[in-house]
């Protein structure tokens, strides 16, 4: 199973923590990404050489004779809450308290209440139930085992992972249910929800109807979606991050500019990976996402020029889709070092409010999940 980590990983670093008081620490920590299931696992999943001893120990957890012994086990909701607290304790222990703070680092009780921990458990049980109820894809023991093995083989911090296993009693069933299930369920649920036409099909039809009714660029502001414009500027800077504070728009270095050109060309011309070989582009199955390019050779520079010329001015693209929206874009103007783009977006309903609407109550009955 392939793990795809998300760019919204956040943590309360020393700079942010330094601005918190004892009174607001609880609120800020609950709102940050640090204690979310995805974030807890993301800290461990940076690509690096794994600890062979840890890997061997973990793989031994899943021998057939061990799996058979736990196949009929179940955890109560209260047990899951207790294990979740043990996980949070490990992560809080490894948080660096800024030296600039005169007060001592508080205990976990100060920054996270029992109610917050219970909400986390309810959340991952709800996500697991939703996968089964709406997509008929319940998490299996094989999926949990595969994810666990991948964690052990690719963790950058085996000592932290070892502490987490110790906190969970080195019990493979508990580890799979309380450490792996939360992150795996959230990731799979997010992916299935994002592109389900049963949920977003009506929005797509509305966007398509707008494009048919107002097919020219001059009518984009009449769409039911959100209209926006942006200026992209080519810069000679080698800075890897786009400069959003540029006075005239967003400044891109040469590599970023070439990627943007390739992206736009693919949007308007339906370019495939083969057509974009000069840039080492990888396309996603759904929508066009961030592109990665190799160093631009003399040949690829010529290809970039040709690609740039294929981007039409004043023409609406076909309807595009990514995880959070449907959208259509148009190049309003272009020069050798400047693009002015207009975009209309139709945002998809976020997952959380959708779940809250379709569920009548929190599925605490899921607390009796078994290894099967």
pLDDT of residue 345: 96
**C-alpha torsion 66→72→77→83, nearest 10:** 0
Q: Which tokens is 329 given?
A: 């874009």
pLDDT digits (tens, 9 = 90+) for 215-234: 899 999 999 999 999 999 99
What whole-number percentage of the chain has pLDDT above 70? 64
Among 80-94, 280-294, 296-310, which stretch is predicted with the lowest mean pLDDT? 280-294
- More confident of the two residues 305 and 279: 305
pLDDT digits (tens, 9 = 90+) for 292-306: 443 434 455 566 567
Burial class (CB in 10 A: 0-12, 13-18, 19+), 276: buried
pLDDT of residue 238: 55
CA gap 7, 322 in Å, rounded: 14
Mean of the per-residue pLDDT values for the chain?
Answer: 74
* Per-residue confidence (pLDDT) for residue 128, from 0 to 100: 94
Residue 12 · residue 29 · CB < 8 Å: yes
Give tens-digit pLDDT for 93-140: 998 888 888 889 999 999 899 999 999 999 999 999 999 999 999 999
pLDDT of residue 130: 93
Residue 341 has pLDDT above 90, yes or no: yes
What pLDDT sits at residue 152?
A: 85
Residue 335 near residue 308 (C-beta atoms within 8 A): no
CB of 344 within 8 A of CB of 206? no
- The residue whose two tokens read 């920054």 is 111
pTM (two decimals): 0.64
11-20, 58-67, 69-78, 224-233: least confident range: 11-20
More confident residue, 34 or 75: 75
Domain boundaries, the chain: 14-194, 200-347
Of 164, 16, 163, the residue nearest 96 (C-alpha)? 16
Across the range 327-337, mean pLDDT stands at 91
Q: What is the pLDDT of residue 367?
A: 42
Find where tokens 């945002």 sit: 347
Count the neighbouring beta carbons within 10 Å of the beta carbon of residue 120. Answer: 22
CA gap 211, 316 in Å, rounded: 9
Q: Check residue 46 and give its pLDDT.
A: 42
Secondary structure (H, E, C), the chain: CCCCCCCCCCCCCHHHHCCCCHHHHHHHHHHCCCCCHHHHHHCCCCCCCCCHHHHHHHHHHCCHHHHHHHCCCECCHHHHHHHHHHHHHHHHHCCCCCCCCCCCCCCHHHHCCHHHHHHHHHHHHHHHHHHHHHHCCCCCHHHHHHHHHHHHHHCCCHHHHHHHHHHCCCCHHHHHHHHHHHHHHHHHHHHHHHCCHHHHHHHHHHHHHHHHHCCCHHHHHHCCCEEEEEEEEECCCCCCCCECCCCCCEEECHHHHHHHHHHHHHHHHCCCCCCCHHHCCCCCCCCCCCCCCCCCCHHHHHHHHHHHHHCCECCCCCCEECCCEEEEEEEEEEECCEEEEEEEEEECCCHHHHHHHHCCCCCHHHHHCECC
Q: How confident is the model at residue 372 (pLDDT cuts 50, 70, 90)?
A: very low
Contact call for residues 48 and 153 (beta carbons, < 8 A): no
CB 318 within 8 A of CB 328: yes
């Amino acid at each position: 199973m392939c793990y795809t980590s998300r760019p919204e990983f956040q943590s309360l670093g020393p700079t942010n923590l330094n601005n918190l008081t004892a009174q607001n620490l609880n609120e800020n920590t609950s709102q940050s990404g640090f204690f979310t299931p995805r974030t807890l696992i993301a800290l461990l999943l940076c690509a690096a050489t794994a600890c062979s001893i840890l890997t061997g120990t973990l793989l031994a957890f899943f021998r057939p004779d061990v799996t058979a012994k736990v196949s009929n086990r179940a955890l109560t909701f209260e047990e899951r809450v207790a294990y979740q607290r043990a996980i949070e304790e490990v992560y809080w222990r490894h948080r660096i308290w800024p030296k600039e703070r005169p007060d001592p680092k508080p205990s976990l009780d100060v920054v996270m209440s029992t109610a917050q921990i219970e909400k986390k458990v309810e959340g991952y049980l709800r996500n697991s139930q939703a996968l089964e109820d709406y997509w008929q894809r319940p998490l299996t023991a094989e999926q949990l085992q595969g994810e666990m093995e991948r964690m052990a083989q690719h963790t950058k911090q085996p000592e932290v992972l070892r502490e987490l296993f110790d906190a969970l009693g080195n019990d493979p069933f508990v580890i799979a249910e309380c450490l792996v299930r939360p992150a795996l369920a959230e990731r799979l649920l997010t992916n299935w929800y994002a592109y389900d036409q049963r949920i977003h099909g009506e929005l797509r039809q509305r966007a398509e109807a707008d494009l048919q009714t107002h097919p020219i660029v001059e009518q984009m502001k009449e769409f039911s979606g959100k209209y926006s414009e942006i200026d992209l500027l080519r810069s000679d800077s080698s800075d890897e991050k786009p400069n959003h504070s540029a006075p005239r728009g967003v400044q891109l270095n040469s590599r970023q500019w070439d990627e943007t050109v390739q992206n736009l060309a693919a949007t308007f011309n339906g370019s495939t990976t083969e057509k974009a070989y000069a840039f080492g582009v990888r396309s996603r199955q759904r929508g066009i996402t961030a592109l990665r390019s190799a160093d631009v050779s003399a040949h690829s520079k010529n290809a970039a020029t040709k690609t740039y010329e294929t981007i039409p001015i004043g023409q609406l693209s076909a309807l595009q889709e990514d995880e959070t929206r449907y959208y259509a874009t148009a190049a309003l103007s272009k020069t050798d070092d400047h693009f002015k783009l207009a975009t209309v977006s139709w945002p998809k309903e976020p997952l959380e409010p959708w779940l809250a609407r379709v569920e009548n109550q929190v599925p605490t009955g899921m607390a009796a999940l078994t290894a099967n």
